[in-house]
């Protein structure tokens, strides 16, 4: 009996240590205040985006919640205001799956808001399909929408420097690759709809985020704008709300113990947005509030440049 209790005790102890150290991870330690600063957070009506917005609003920032759903966005607006105690929070509708919507958002923002100090490209989707412009859904929303938004707002970011662009990617990018033949033929990273194919396209879209950041940093050299990509950790959020019911069931069983909550999951985003003296690390990839060495494919100059030029053509910037 003693041996059984000892084994159970060891298992529980190891599990606790794993959860405390690996799952919860590090926290953003910056005490920076943001009074007089303006921040955009895409996809901030739910998950780590909303938690990020609350933290930034608490620091005194004027926070723009850029979300697709008017109903969910307005509900999040009231929650962010209530949780942060700030009235400097604004909801502005934007659908990253529509280039017209992204352009309309940027035009309205530039007309009504004099500053932009931090742009957090947080929104992400996990589902196959097509955007309003005929692009693969995950390629269009996770990459192209943010690519266009960032480029449309770059001059304002430069005018307000030092400023930052933060791209929320994923460790899944390590399993991705950019299939330029598929992009040229189908305007999608892949067209299959099986579990494996959908996961692969998601990973590909996250690789796009990291490559975009790599190339953006090169193009921003000599300006006062820096950029960073990151893995927030495995998050207990609504990312998989469009996945199959069996996948969501399996995910729920796993998330209870192995996934971060949204406060823990927002920490690396906040670190990249706020941490002092990380400007020399512009273009780099972060995880657990720490800069990481990305795989060669995630910082390949030729691939990053080719993706940038293709993205420009697809969203009408070229």
Q: Is 202 a catalytic residue?
A: yes
- Beta carbons of 150 and 122 less than 8 angstroms apart: no
Supply the DSSP symbol for 291.
Answer: E
CB atoms inside a 10 Å sphere around CB 258: 13
Q: From the candidates 16, 126, 196, 202, which is the catalytic residue?
A: 202
- Beta carbons of 25 and 52 less than 8 angstroms apart: no
Q: How far is the CA of 163 from the CAs of 2, 22, 37, 155, 166, in angstroms? A: 59, 31, 10, 11, 10
Rounded to the nearest 10 degrees, the angle between the axes of helix 145-159 and helix 99-112 is 20
Residue count (the chain): 318
Rounded to the nearest 10 degrees, the angle between the axes of helix 195-219 and helix 145-159 is 20
Strands 225-231 and 38-42: unpaired
CA pair distance 284, 210, nearest whole angstrom: 8
**Spatial CA neighbour of 119 closest among 157, 148, 173:** 157
CA 273 to the chain's CA centroid:
12
Element (DSSP H or E) covering residue 253: helix 245-258
User: Which residues are known to be catalytic?
Assistant: 202
């Amino acid at each position: 009996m003693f041996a059984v209790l000892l084994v159970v005790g060891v298992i529980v102890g190891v599990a606790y240590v794993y959860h405390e150290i690996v799952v919860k991870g590090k926290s953003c330690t910056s005490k920076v205040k943001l009074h007089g600063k303006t921040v955009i957070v895409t996809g901030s009506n739910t998950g780590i985006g909303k938690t990020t917005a609350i933290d930034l609003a608490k620091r005194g920032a004027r926070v723009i919640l850029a979300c697709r759903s008017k109903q969910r966005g307005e509900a999040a607006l009231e929650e962010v205001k209530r949780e942060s105690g700030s009235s400097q929070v604004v909801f502005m509708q934007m659908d990253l799956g529509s280039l017209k919507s992204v352009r309309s958002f940027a035009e309205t923002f530039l007309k009504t808001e004099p500053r932009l100090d931090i742009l957090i490209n947080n929104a992400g989707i996990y589902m196959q399909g097509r955007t309003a412009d005929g692009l693969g859904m995950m390629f269009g929303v996770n990459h192209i929408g943010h690519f266009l938004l960032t480029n449309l707002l770059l001059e304002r970011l430069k005018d307000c420097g030092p400023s930052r662009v933060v791209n929320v990617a994923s460790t899944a990018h390590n399993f991705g690759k950019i299939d330029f033949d598929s992009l040229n033929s189908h305007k999608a990273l892949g067209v299959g709809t099986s579990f494996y194919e959908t996961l692969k396209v998601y990973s590909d879209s996250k690789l796009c985020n990291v490559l975009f950041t790599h190339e953006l940093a090169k193009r921003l050299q000599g300006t006062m704008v820096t950029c960073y990509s990151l893995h927030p950790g495995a998050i207990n959020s609504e990312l998989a709300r469009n996945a199959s019911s069996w996948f969501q069931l399996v995910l729920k069983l796993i998330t209870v113990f192995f996934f971060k909550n949204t406060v823990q999951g927002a920490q690396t985003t906040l670190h990249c947005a706020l941490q002092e003296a990380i400007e020399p690390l512009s273009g780099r990839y972060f995880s657990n509030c720490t800069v990481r060495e990305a795989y060669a494919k995630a910082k390949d100059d030729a691939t990053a440049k080719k993706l940038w030029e293709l993205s420009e053509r697809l969203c009408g910037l070229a």
